[in-house]
Amino acid sequence: MNPVNTKSEGEHYLWVDTSRCIGCFSCEVACKMEHELPAGPRPIMVIQIGPVEHEGEMILTYQPATCLHCNSPACVEACPTGAMQKRADGLVFSEAEICIGCQRCAIACPFGIPQLNPGTGKISKCDGCADRVEKGLSPACVLSCPTEALSFMTPTKKAQRIREQFSQRILQSGAGR
């Protein structure tokens, strides 16, 4: 389970639980609808891994990959116009009005996150749904996820959720009796 920091205040994080991801791509389409993107760029991208055989068992997993909003983002350093920026709250975003579509950020990013939007000729990447979050709404990808593989909450809340789930499992197994 990887916490992806989308909020430097240490409050809300995007949590990715690959054990619950089923590769339905709902997050990808919700992102496109929210940001009015064409088919090409995928700010969040679900990658199928496997199936591979491991100790006689088949393993198939899906990994939703999106911007990690790095503390020292290479994309920001590489941007020649200042379009790629890191906000005070930690979110890394590209300002469309300034972006010239040179894709230096795409090359600089070690995870290949920024992608060119062929419709606008500008870079598109995850901005953490900042406009939604500022209105108190969940990021679009989280909202549509059918299995709660993606969630958006504070570490405190997440820890509470993990404890609840663990307790439920103990209760269901009968070990608590």
Partner 1 sequence: MNLRLFDRYSGTRKKHERWVRTVCQECSLRCGLIAYLKNGGIVDIHGDDDHPVSRGRLCARGLAFVQGIVSPERITCPAFRKSLQEPFTAMEDWEKALDWYAERLRKIKDQHGAESIFIGCDPEADLDFAIGATRFAVLLGTPHVYHPFDFPQIPSQFPWPPYPASPCYEWGHSKCLFLIEADLAATHPVAFGWVLEAQQHGAKIIAADTRFTRTLSKADLPLRIRPNSGNVLGLALMKIVLENPGPHDDIAQARFNNPEKWRASFDQLSWEDMKNALGLTPESLKELQDLLRGNLPTTIVTGRNLAAFEGYGVWPTLVSAKGWGGTKGGGWYPLESTTPPLNPCRGIADRSTEKVPQGKETQAPGILKELRERVKKGEVRARAILCAGDCLGDFLSFFQGLEKRPDLMATFGSFPNITQELSHLVFPAAIWAEKSGLCFSNDRAIHWAEKILEPRPGCRSGLDFWLGLAKRFGWAEAFPWIKEDGSADHRSFYQWVVEGSPVLKGFQLDRLKDQNQAPDPGFWSLRVTMEGDGKIEPTPAPKTVGSPAPALDREHFPLYFQKIPFVSRSGTIGRYWPWTQNLEEEDAVQINPETARALHIENGDAILISSPVGTMEGRAWISRMVPPWMVASPKNSEEDWVLVHKKDQTGDEALTLLKEFLP
Contact positions vs partner 1 (CB under 8 A):
7, 11-12, 20, 22-26, 28-30, 32-34, 38-40, 50-53, 58-62, 131-138, 140, 142-148, 151-154, 157, 165, 168-169, 171-173
Comparing CB distances to partner 1, the nearer of 86 and 157 is 157
Comparing CB distances to partner 1, the nearer of 5 and 76 is 5
Rg (CA), the chain: 18
Rounded least distance, CB 131 to partner 1, Å: 5
Comparing CB distances to partner 1, the nearer of 82 and 146 is 146
Rounded least distance, CB 16 to partner 1, Å: 15
What is the SS3 assignment for 71? Answer: coil
State the DSSP string of 116-156.
EETTTTEEE---TTHHHHHTTPPPHHHHH-TTSSEEEE-HH
- Farthest-apart Cα atoms in the chain, separation: 64
> How many Cβ atoms from other residues are within 10 Å of residue 166's Cβ?
10
Rounded least distance, CB 143 to partner 1, Å: 6
Residue in 34, 97, 31, 102 with CA at minimum distance from that of residue 64: 31
Comparing CB distances to partner 1, the nearer of 15 and 68 is 15
Rounded least distance, CB 137 to partner 1, Å: 5
